[in-house]
């Protein structure tokens, strides 16, 4: 089974970063999808709400990408040598992702008075959903 590939490093007592290297391609593929979605949403929001709509859509997508990258960084810094430690590391990374997302959303909404909230939130949610799809990307 394909899932067994991810647990081999634990059986041999290896570092979990082997697994992260194996996930590189799916994550890069999803990042491309996110950038395409941001571009499409920015164009659509620009047509509907003008320049501020397009900029708001880009900001929402950028917030989601930055939150995802911060979670990936936290996950890659961990030194888990068991499945339980890996789960705790993943939960820590998700907490960091949530914190970064909330902080960046607050910063944008507090400092960009002309933000088109609908475009910002829509782009943020779409790119978050796309990031969650990395699990379904094939490695070959």
Which of 130, 136, 134, 133 lies closest to 2, judged by CA? 136
- The band of 3, judged by pLDDT with boundaries at 50, 70 and 90, is very low
Backbone angles phi, psi at 25, to 5 degrees: -60, -50
Dihedral angle, C-alpha 109, 124, 58, 64, nearest 10 °: 100
User: 14: phi > 0 → left, psi -120 to 50 → alpha, else beta; which?
Assistant: beta
Which positions ≥6 away from 24 have C-beta within 8 Å? none
For residues 21 and 117, which has the higher predicted lDDT (pLDDT)?
117
What percentage of the chain carries pLDDT values higher than 70?
79
- Tell me the pLDDT band of 74, cut-offs 50, 70 and 90: confident
The per-residue pLDDT for range 75-109, each reduced to its tens digit, is: 878 776 777 887 888 899 899 999 999 999 999 99
Per-residue pLDDT, averaged over 106-124, amounts to 96
Residue 38 pLDDT more than 70?
Answer: yes
**Residue 60 above 60 pLDDT?**
yes
Match 């911060």 to its residue by tokens: 70
**Average pLDDT, integer, range 50-72:** 94
């Amino acid at each position: 089974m394909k899932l067994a590939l991810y647990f081999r490093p634990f059986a041999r007592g290896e570092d979990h970063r082997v697994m992260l290297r194996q996930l590189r391609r799916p994550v890069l593929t999803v990042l491309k999808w996110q950038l395409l979605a941001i571009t499409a949403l920015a164009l659509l929001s620009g047509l509907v709400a003008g320049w501020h709509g397009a900029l708001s859509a880009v900001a929402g997508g950028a917030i989601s990408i930055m939150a995802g990258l911060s979670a990936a960084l936290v996950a890659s810094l961990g030194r888990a040598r068991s499945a339980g430690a890996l789960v705790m590391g993943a939960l820590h990374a998700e907490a960091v992702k949530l914190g970064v997302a909330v902080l960046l959303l607050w910063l944008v909404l507090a400092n960009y008075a002309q933000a088109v909230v609908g475009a910002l939130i829509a782009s943020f949610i779409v790119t978050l959903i796309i990031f969650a799809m990395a699990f379904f990307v094939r490695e070959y």
